[in-house]
Structure 1
Amino acid sequence: MSKRIEGARRAARIVHALKCPVCGNPVGVEDEGRLLCPENHSFDFAKQGYVNVLTRPACGHYNKELFEARRRIMLDSGLYAPFHEAAADLIREVTLPTDLPSIIADIGCGEGTHLHRVLEELGGLNVAGAGLDIAKEGVQLAARDFHDAVWLVGDLAQSPFADGSIHAILNILSPSNYDEFTRMLAPGGRLIKAVPGAGYLRELREALYSDERRTYSNEETIGLFDRHFRRTETIPLRYTVRLGRAQLEDLVRMTPLSWSPDPKAVTTFLDQETADITVELDLLVGEPRV
């Protein structure tokens, strides 16, 4: 069976949670591998198994090299393993339906590893994953390698998820649209947003920058969250991971921190066999203020 048809069949399992991003009507999954709504808006699955539901051209800031580096470091180093475990624990606390699969949506999924790892942690539960990102290069990698979720290229502002259809939203180091999150969440569902703490990738910041980018404050991001969602819990994650030379190279490639630093600073940072890298994340857990 082709990846295109496999992707369509995975989408059929969660078709109750999908809508047309153009007109808002429910969609069906056609046997030939496409989404189709009653107004005949049609979205074909690609040969890699994902579906592009963008309604207008979009240009992402991230390229294939960045996503491939992110994939390697997450799979090889366990850089975010404590986050994946914590996110799965939070999802287990949600009251999930018994008749249909519970939908876990990763908004800003990139190349898919976060959602893939969380779904692995949730093995045994009747859950289905859906990953959405505007960057086609990332979603292509996700669909190519991870066959445990529905992968969509789309715009969060015109998301393809139906009202009240998502039981847990993951929003990991990515922009938010709280009106859409509120619309999408099922009763009793929760938003899990990961924001960087002041020490996140501290060693990389300090090596590459000499200005205000050496430090980071998440106060504005947290304040925006609190204005739109009722925060029920905050899970702080603070740990270090030792990375080897090749993983340090991927760390530099995967983060926008390295887009415009001093090239000599990059060379100096990479001229070490190993380094301990700090991961500092705050998991904001909340429900809509309605």
Structure 2
Amino acid sequence: MLKKKIDNGRDFLTAHLDLFQCPKCQAEFTAIKGNTMVCQNNHGFDLSKKGTIHFPNHHLTSDYDKEMLLSRRNMIQQGLYAPLETKLTQLIEASRQSETIVDMGCGEGSFVERLKANLLEKNFIGFDLSKDGVQLASDFSDQGFFFIGDVTQMPFQDQSIDVLLNIFSPSHYEEMKRVLSEEGVIIKVIPESGYLKEMRESFYHDNEDKQHYSNEQVYDKFKKDIQLVSEERLTYTYPVFHKDYEDILKMSPIHWGASEEAKEYARKHPFKELTIDVKILVGKKA
């Protein structure tokens, strides 16, 4: 009999309570009482029926809606990022200390679910600003623990996390260095100039400036704040079939700035392949 999501969440927290700290007062959590995490100062955080927790003290908003997240899930589950997942698996396995892996900005949870399938003995945690994303991620509650959280205030103890995954997501390097273990690694994936270029060229066919992307600022910021251990560029194309085209168009923030006319143009001029072009950065505390 399958366990309920809330039971999966409670079991994970019970086994790994020492990873977490209270975001209100930074004290240790001392107990799980019923379905509530309780810290030394008696602040409580309740598990939802989906086995997730809302940690931030403030209200959070995200532009990633359920429709977009589901389109993204469909494409990830079909293997759009399979070569990237293989590289990430290899990097995690190569890390000297990689028991606990956190996906910062996990969206709807597919990267956690797919990496866990390759790394069964590891503990996976995912969090995101998007309530819709975390609710969808709870579909994988037997493979990882998910919560609503903010990269600027992670509810983890100092030096408690072995691997921080940061895949197409914002970073807060001071906070990342605080929670990273001494031998831990940060694995950050950033777009390269060719990433989803067919999509940009279609949505912005009449605006050449928006057809181009540079990761220079993000790359320089990483190197400034983190000790760069290695970097690798990964580029390949993925065949686009008619049945997937609508999901492809909706899966990325690229369409947010496009006019309705541009979106209609993209629908009427389908491209046959999609370029995945990324840089994988591995770093440690400076």
Partner of 2:193: 198
Cα displacement (A) at 1:29: 4.5
Give me the whole-angstrom Cα distance separating, in 2, the residues matched to 1:231 and 1:263: 42
The alignment status of 1:224 with 2:221, answered yes or no, reads: yes
TM-score scaled by structure 2? Answer: 0.94
Partner of 2:162: 167
**Contact 1:173/1:194 (8 A) holds in 2:** yes
The alignment status of 1:261 with 2:263, answered yes or no, reads: no
**Contact 1:12/1:28 (8 A) holds in 2:** no
The alignment status of 1:178 with 2:162, answered yes or no, reads: no
Give me the whole-angstrom Cα distance separating, in 2, the residues matched to 1:29 and 1:195: 38
For residues 189-232 of structure 1, what are the alpha-carbon distances to aligned partners after superposition, in whole Å with 9 as ceiling and x for unaligned?
A: 10000000000000000111123220100010000000100111
Query: Which moves more between the two structures, 261-270 or 185-194?
Result: 261-270
Counting matched residue pairs gives 282
Q: 2:5 aligns with which of 3, 6, 17?
A: 3
Cα displacement (A) at 1:246: 3.1
- Going from structure 1 to structure 2, the CA distance change for 1:108 and 1:140 (only over 3 Å counts) comes to same
Partner of 1:248: 245
- Contiguous gaps of at least 5 residues in structure 2: none
Partner of 1:65: 67
TM-score scaled by structure 1? Answer: 0.93
For 1:1-290, what aligned pairs fall within 5 Å after superposition? Answer: 1-76=3-78, 78-96=79-97, 102-123=99-120, 126-209=121-204, 210-271=207-268, 275-289=272-286
**Contact 1:245/1:270 (8 A) holds in 2:** no
Cα displacement (A) at 1:94: 1.2
- Runs of 4+ with deviation above 4 angstroms: none
Seq. identity, %: 31
Kindly provide the amino acid, as one letter, of the partner of residue 225 in structure 1: F
Cα displacement (A) at 1:168: 0.5
Give me the whole-angstrom Cα distance separating, in 2, the residues matched to 1:242 and 1:160: 40
**Contact 1:171/1:194 (8 A) holds in 2:** yes
**Contact 1:198/1:218 (8 A) holds in 2:** yes
**Contact 1:34/1:44 (8 A) holds in 2:** yes
1:234 aligns to what SS in structure 2? strand
- Going from structure 1 to structure 2, the CA distance change for 1:272 and 1:143 (only over 3 Å counts) comes to same
Give me the whole-angstrom Cα distance separating, in 1, the residues matched to 2:35 and 2:272: 46
Kindly provide the amino acid, as one letter, of the partner of residue 9 in structure 2: G
- Going from structure 1 to structure 2, the CA distance change for 1:29 and 1:278 (only over 3 Å counts) comes to farther
CA RMSD of aligned residues (A): 1.5
- Contiguous gaps of at least 5 residues in structure 1: none
**Contact 2:23/2:55 (8 A) holds in 1:** yes
